[in-house]
Amino acid sequence: MMFRRRSPEVAVNGERLLVGLDLNATRVRAVTGEAGVPQPLTLDGPDGELAMALSLEDRQPVVGRAGVALCRRLPHLTCSDFLAHLGQTKQWTAGRHRLDAAGALSLVFQRLHSATSTAQGFLAAISAYLGLEQLETLAASAEKSRLPLLGTVPAPIAAAASVSLQKPGTAVALVLDVDDHAMTWAAVRPRESSAEQVALVLSHVVTLRPLGLRAWKQRLLNTIAERCIRHSRRDPRECADAEQALYDQLDVAMTKCRRGELAEIDIQAPQWYQNFYLRANELESYCAALVRPAIDAMYETLMAAQIEDPPAAVIVTSPAARLPGLFAALQDRIAEPTQVITLPADAVARAAHDVATRITAGRLPRGHLQTLPISPIDQSTARTSANRREPSIPARLTGTDR
């Protein structure tokens, strides 16, 4: 793969800076710093994330929130969900703009390079549904953008490496993630790589495009719009600005639902205004039809990976944990001593930074790491959720009928 063999030795205050990226079809999250003490990197706005979307409204494409702000109002001027189309012929056109997925990704990499120009190297944790040929295209886009990409690692492996599991040589973990393109269930299986280390490897991946983040948002948008019709006989989807404003509030609403808080929805059209509150259980009921197949896919992953013993843990990334009703359903279907672990928003990026540190120290090769050696005692300094508990073995799923 086209990964740079040498990167310039750049130092800030005597320390070499590395960047760990958590990159999927929805957004890029990054941490940067010296070995062991990475800090979140603000890329686009207060949440720190850079949206994987481009606005084609102006003379030059604009990366980030500008693209998301047009996705419902002027969808023909938005380039989004392009990561999974790397190496394919699909193009996004608007006026003088003509982009394929590789071109769009190059613009994202240029934005990352300009935001962190003093970094010695980048390591990206990428979605598990990308194939090796697509990773070649990703590496070529980084090279074209002069982004010193050290390598890539599948996001489920980075997620599993970010938590401490007892007996890592025997513990199998399931990792749940979601982005705009798809929901993915992945089985991560440790295997001995030496007398002193084990390595994490992907055992099986189930990709569910109908359950991607866009599907959850579309269901929420439609159900909330129908409620608005019942209240006021007005449909926000008939006004592009009102639909966009409603769509922009869905991320906050899902976050509040996860916390059990009320979500306030304001719908503003040129000639009317509607405001109401939604309880967490209402949002969960709206998405109930999506929760069941998501849970079923967990069992499909276990069977496809031929996992006979119960997995040690079910690891849920931050975006997946916000899906209304899904986390509660997982807790209901998985019995003690099995543990459902939720990751902080920057956990995968921190794990990627740790891998970058080991590559620059010569302990790992550059390129796409399909196996990731870990220490049985101290696997990672990445954090789990604030109320984390160490998962126990054996873990056991409930025998509830699917």
Residues in the chain: 402
Last residue of a domain, one of 286, 316, 348: 286
Note whether 100 and 150 are same-domain residues: yes
Residue 170: its pLDDT value, please? 54
Site of tokens 């990731």: 372
Last residue of a domain, one of 286, 308, 328: 286
- C-alpha triplet 111, 372, 382: angle, nearest 5°: 65
Site of tokens 């481009």: 54
Residue 89: its pLDDT value, please? 93
User: What's the domain count of the chain?
Assistant: 3
By the 8 A CB rule, do 162 and 350 touch?
Answer: yes
pLDDT tens digit sequence for 352-370? 999 999 999 899 999 999 9
**For residue 41, which of 68, 13, 17 has the smallest C-alpha distance?**
17
- Distance between CA atoms of 81 and 111, rounded to whole angstroms? 17
- In this prediction, the residues of the chain whose per-residue pLDDT falls under 70 are 1-16, 46, 164-170, 192-197, 375-402
The answer to whether residue 383 is domain-embedded is: yes
Note whether 101 and 163 are same-domain residues: no
Note whether 238 and 168 are same-domain residues: no
Note whether 316 and 186 are same-domain residues: yes
The answer to whether residue 69 is domain-embedded is: yes
Residue 375: its pLDDT value, please? 55
Partner residues linked to 174 by β-bridges: 187, 314
By the 8 A CB rule, do 18 and 121 touch?
Answer: yes
CATH number at residue 348: 3.30.420.40
The answer to whether residue 5 is domain-embedded is: no
The answer to whether residue 3 is domain-embedded is: no
Note whether 336 and 378 are same-domain residues: yes
Residue 242: its pLDDT value, please? 95
Note whether 168 and 231 are same-domain residues: no
Note whether 104 and 123 are same-domain residues: yes
Give me the domain span that covers residue 314. 155-211+291-397
Note whether 49 and 117 are same-domain residues: yes
- Distance between CA atoms of 213 and 69, rounded to whole angstroms? 17
Residue 117: its pLDDT value, please? 79
The answer to whether residue 402 is domain-embedded is: no
Note whether 361 and 371 are same-domain residues: yes
Note whether 193 and 302 are same-domain residues: yes
Residue 165: its pLDDT value, please? 56
The answer to whether residue 4 is domain-embedded is: no
The answer to whether residue 172 is domain-embedded is: yes
The three-class DSSP label of residue 200 is strand
The whole-angstrom distance between residue 204's C-alpha and the CA centroid of its chain comes to 18
- Distance between CA atoms of 323 and 310, rounded to whole angstroms? 25
Note whether 178 and 232 are same-domain residues: no
| Helices marked H in 95-212 | 101-115, 132-144, 155-161
Residue 163: its pLDDT value, please? 85
**For residue 105, which of 149, 57, 46, 145 has the smallest C-alpha distance?**
145
Please write down the long-range contacts of 187-191, taking CB distance under 8 Å and 24 or more positions apart: 187/301, 187/302, 187/305, 187/307, 187/311, 188/156, 188/157, 188/159, 188/160, 189/305, 189/307, 190/374, 191/371
Residue 394: its pLDDT value, please? 31
- Distance between CA atoms of 337 and 320, rounded to whole angstroms? 22
pLDDT tens digit sequence for 180-197? 999 999 999 887 665 456
Burial status of residue 342 (CB atoms within 10 A of its CB: 0-12, 13-18, 19 or more): buried
Q: Give the pTM.
A: 0.87
**For residue 352, which of 123, 88, 191, 161 has the smallest C-alpha distance?**
123
The answer to whether residue 81 is domain-embedded is: yes
Strand order of the β-sheet with 78-80 is: 62-63, 53-55, 78-80
Note whether 326 and 202 are same-domain residues: yes
The three-class DSSP label of residue 248 is helix
Residue 401: its pLDDT value, please? 38
CATH number at residue 231: 3.90.640.10
- Distance between CA atoms of 134 and 205, rounded to whole angstroms? 16
